[in-house]
Chains A and B, each alone.
Chain A
């Protein structure tokens, strides 16, 4: 696995983001762990080797605060090699629910926050001609499912944004990797009854092993195969499937 010296992980208080931050810190990397819940970050820092995790309180919906938070992280880390955007929001949505304020929050956390953080990372890496950008998308972004319309759309938007970033930064020393985890046992999915879900630490190991490889990555072969089929399934069939 490639090792990193300085990383920012946004959405590091729980789930996959927390597992990625913990693994990076254990490998010797200094990590700026960014999230809303400071007490969670402090507990993460206390479990990591001393001095490896810097807890940075920030709400990704406050887009105007991002430049200052990004600058503070870069200064504290004395540079930057890797940025992981892992913040995600997937509230329960009823089958006939159309709640715009709720949907707006989903878009802000899953997409606009990512744009705000990763734009700054892209700009910085473009100048220094090096760096790795990682966005945590979802298999849910591959199709528009009836259960989570805006969550799906926000992840699809993130995938498209990351692909555009990848194309824009190609050949400039910067890699952009999109990861599409499937079901995972996290707080975000606690309200769902998931069978055969991946645990965050295993997912973090896979993400970090390919963090420097530009492209879209599923976390296991079965997802790659199943979603290759699903992506190409006609809508009139897809809408009848129990997914």
Chain B
């Protein structure tokens, strides 16, 4: 296992670093990577699919342990729905394996490419966060290697569990996990589209459906102002009774072309041509108006894959943000303060002329993980284009938004973060930070595991 120098970047492509990548295919290979790092005086950064938006899976000159070769399905209990998989198995691997038996991952991200190890390290949530919480709440156990090479099976009842899950790959090396899958009646969902004319209607629709829908998500037009500020399109979805045929992989696969004509692989080039403020303002407006005219209030059937993995519709869509890349600013705010905070955030980005090209609103519930983002409230995710000219202003805006979130007792999500500063992190986590650091010291006494994110935010000492 020879390390190879590679250029690694975050999903948002705003930061990159050269690191010495190794691709283990066994526990022993991972131990060898630990020995290599120690012998060369390097630190280790863990990397799944590189789907964290910022700098969570990069670190200059470190040994980057990537898990793409450790992706075997280890066991499957089709009666109880427990799937054991290696850390490099992806969300896509999970559903493809289990869906024909009538099971679906309990929590999925907006794309099927993240690895299980990465998803647990970041404790991902999905569009059902208000019902199912985060992925960490659906694990039977995880196997974790400490920095001395010892493997520990950690279960939800073990105190270390709440530090490792959501621990951003900094406490121990997640090797394997057993996931409690969710039984689904079919491979389809009933999806209701509702147009909201402003922030007030957005939150009203969420309140109306949060006790009975299985999934809830809303798109927000971040260019709309005044009485239209916060307008958007909400999708509520319910598991649907349907034929067994809907569980087949053929039924679920996304098409490769748009309208049977345009290959999706070239679509990002069109998006790139449109990826500027004026065009995005027009596109957001058109999307809202189209949503109000077509489909508003109507229920339709959609496959689980089509509804869940919206980000996978257009392959490599993020390249439309090249050369500067983009950041996703996502904050999680208690429900009482969310309308005020999100309204202020959107007004702020409009005042600065830095409108997000995409805004997504979701409902959440609290969880007990030390670095987790769960909150009895809402999250708003905002995609900001970054250019050499606006970079400083975008970061400064994010810092102003942090103030709004912290004042309201809100939280942040390390998988998305690019802008948090040590002072923000300390205010966000409070005493949880010290508790988490104690677990890190226990599993990683030599401080081998690191990342650019960990050093930037002061999660660990550089």
Q: Which residues of A come within 8 Å of B, CB atoms?
A: 74-75, 78-80, 124, 127-130
Contacts and interface: CB of A to CB of B under 8 A. Distances in A.
A78 B15 CA distance: 13
A78 B7 contact: no
Contacts of B17: 78-79
A128 B61 contact: no
A133 to B, nearest CB: 15
A128 B60 contact: no
B310 interface: no
Nearest to A127: B5
Given A75-B61, A128-B6, 4 more contacts: A74-B61, A79-B18, A124-B18, A128-B5
Nearest to A74: B61
Contacts, number: 22
A75 B59 CA distance: 11
Contacts of A79: 17-18, 60-61
Nearest to B17: A79
A79 B15 CA distance: 13
B207 interface: no
Contacts of B228: none
B216 to A, nearest CB: 42
A124 B7 contact: no
A129 B61 contact: no
Contacts of A130: 7
B6 A127 contact: yes
B60 A127 contact: no
21 contacts: A74-B18, A74-B61, A75-B61, A78-B17, A78-B60, A78-B61, A79-B17, A79-B18, A79-B60, A80-B18, A124-B5, A124-B18, A127-B4, A127-B5, A127-B6, A128-B5, A128-B6, A128-B7, A128-B18, A129-B7, A130-B7
B36 to A, nearest CB: 14
Nearest to B5: A127
A39 to B, nearest CB: 28
What are the 5 A-B residue pairs with the smallest beta carbon separation, nearest first? A78-B60, A127-B5, A128-B7, A79-B60, A79-B18
Nearest to B7: A128
A79 B17 CA distance: 7
Max chain A Cβ within 10 angstroms of own Cβ: one of B7, B17, B18, B60: B18
Contacts of B5: 124, 127-128
Interface string B357-395: 000000000000000000000000000000000000000
Contacts of B6: 127-128
A9 B439 CA distance: 43
A127 B8 CA distance: 11
Interface residues of B, number: 8
Contacts of B60: 78-79
A240 to B, nearest CB: 52
A236 to B, nearest CB: 51
A180 to B, nearest CB: 30
A80 B7 CA distance: 11
A75 B61 CA distance: 6
Nearest to A6: B60
A130 B4 CA distance: 15
A124 B5 CA distance: 7
Max chain B Cβ within 10 angstroms of own Cβ: one of A79, A80, A129: A79
Max chain B Cβ within 10 angstroms of own Cβ: one of A80, A124, A127, A130: A127
Nearest to A78: B60
Interface string B1-32: 00011110000000001100000000000000
Interface in B334-371: none
A80 B17 CA distance: 9
A83 B56 CA distance: 28
B85 to A, nearest CB: 31
Nearest to B60: A78
A74 B60 CA distance: 9
Nearest to B8: A128
Nearest to B42: A75
Nearest to B20: A127
Nearest to B41: A75
A80 B18 CA distance: 8
A14 B80 CA distance: 73
A81 to B, nearest CB: 10
Nearest to A80: B18
Nearest to A3: B388
A73 B7 CA distance: 18
Contacts of B61: 74-75, 78-79
B61 to A, nearest CB: 5
A78 B45 CA distance: 14
A128 B5 CA distance: 6
A124 B17 CA distance: 13
Contacts of A128: 5-7, 18
A124 to B, nearest CB: 6
A81 B5 CA distance: 14
Contacts of A78: 17, 60-61
Contacts of A74: 18, 61
Contacts of B7: 128-130
A79 B5 CA distance: 11
A80 B61 CA distance: 10
A122 to B, nearest CB: 12
B166 to A, nearest CB: 27
B14 to A, nearest CB: 13
Contacts of A75: 61
Contacts of B4: 127
A201 to B, nearest CB: 26
Interface in B48-62: 60-61
A235 B6 CA distance: 49
Nearest to B59: A78
Contacts of B18: 74, 79-80, 124, 128
Contacts of A80: 18
A75 B18 CA distance: 10
A73 to B, nearest CB: 11
A220 B17 CA distance: 36
Nearest to A76: B61
A70 to B, nearest CB: 12
A127 B7 CA distance: 8
B419 to A, nearest CB: 19
Contacts of A124: 5, 18
